[in-house]
Structure formats: structure tokens, C-alpha cells
Amino acid sequence: MSTATAPAPARVQRQRTAGWKKPDGAVYVGRGSKWGNPYRLGTTQVRTPALDGSMWEQEGRLGKRSGQWHGFVHPDGTVTSHLVQDAAPEQVVELYRRWVAGRPGLVDAVREQLAGRDLMCWCPLEQPCHADWLLDVANGDMPTASYLEPARRTLLICGFSFNALPSLHRSVVK
């Protein structure tokens, strides 16, 4: 007698095509939901290196153009230069992870409310998405603190190294 196991929860790309229906039990985790990523591709920027000397951090100053070097005047009067770039998908997901880390109890809520469910977002399946991270947290067996630790892998973009999340997307692009 064989025992069939239920398929592992997966990320589903939400669509607006005629006839498309969301899978039964799937949960929308995009913007507008309580699980939505506040960091958008194309509008979120990062600076390298970060002011604290790490590889990168979110650029919070408005009006900066991507691809340009900008000076930053520190409180002690020293000036450092930083490259401002649009955030890569991996960085947007890492910023989301950091955002969640600042909200006590949210990881527990992810585990309670999203475990065993397919998650829907608008992101293309071949690119990293915060829904992948949510799937790992909701269905993983690591301690909560492990999901909130900074990523340790490096991503190379335009000749500059950035911290990135380990293997966020489940699809393999060849």
C-alpha cells in the first residue's frame, strides 16, 4: 500500500488573464496584504558600501539617481562616497527579511497562518520573491531566530559585491 504525500507548498504567480483562478487554499502575500513587501523593484535603492562599512544598505535619501556616486557627510565631518543603485531582487527580499525582523511576533504569525499553504505574489517565478522566504519560514523547522539572521552569501552586480539571500527562488533558470 503506497502512501501519497501532499505536494509541498509552492509559490504561485498571480495573473490577470481570462479564466485564471487561484489555486484552492492559496494565500495572496503581495502588496495590499499584511504579508506584502514594502520594498519595490525599480523604486527601492541601495548604496554601496553601507555607512557602517558593510556591503550595502538601503538608500533612504530621496532624489538620488541610480548609477551615480554620491557623497555622504558623517557627523564627525568626514565625507565618504557611495554608489547608489536600484535594488536587485535579492536585495529587496533581504530588506523584507530585515523589515520582518523588526516586527516581533510576525514570524510566529507566518508559521501559524501560512504553513502548508501555497503563496501567491505578482513576482515572476524565475526571480527571487519574498514569498519564497515566507514559504521557507512557514514550512521550515529552523528556530525563529535563524530566519531573522543576516544573509551570508554574496551577489555580484555591476562589478560590486552585495550580501544576498541564499537561493531564494525555487525555479532553476538555465
> For residue 152, what pLDDT is reported?
46
For the cut 70, the answer to whether the pLDDT of residue 3 exceeds it is no
- 134 located within any domain: yes
User: 46 CB contacts (<8 Å, ≥6 apart)?
Assistant: 56, 57, 58, 59, 84, 85, 86, 87, 91, 162
pLDDT one-digit tens code per residue, 104-116? 788 889 999 999 9
- 6 located within any domain: no
CB 151 within 8 A of CB 168: no
- 92 located within any domain: yes
- 140 located within any domain: yes
> For residue 4, what pLDDT is reported?
63
Number of structural domains (the chain) is 2
Smallest CA-to-CA distance from 28 within 6, 9, 3, 11 is with: 11
- 66 located within any domain: yes
Please tell me the distance from the alpha carbon of residue 114 to that of residue 35, in angstroms, as a whole number: 10
Please tell me the distance from the alpha carbon of residue 10 to that of residue 8, in angstroms, as a whole number: 6
What is the number of residues in the chain? Answer: 174
- What sign does the CA torsion over 107, 127, 171, 117 have? positive
Q: State the burial class of residue 105 (Cβ atoms within 10 Å of its Cβ: 0-12, 13-18, 19+).
A: exposed
Asked whether residue 112 falls in the same domain as residue 149, the answer is yes
pLDDT one-digit tens code per residue, 92-136? 999 999 998 888 788 889 999 999 999 999 999 999 999 999 999
> For residue 158, what pLDDT is reported?
43
Which three cell numbers, joined as nine digits, stand for 82?
Answer: 557611495
Smallest CA-to-CA distance from 87 within 98, 79, 75, 72 is with: 98
Asked whether residue 158 falls in the same domain as residue 76, the answer is no
pLDDT category at 142 given cuts 50, 70, 90 is low
Neighbours of 91 (CB within 10 A): 28
- 4 located within any domain: no
Lowest mean pLDDT segment, chosen from 37-46, 49-58, 119-128, 158-167: 158-167
Whole-number CA gyration radius for the chain: 18
- What sign does the CA torsion over 173, 37, 44, 93 have? negative
Domain that holds residue 117: 11-41+88-164
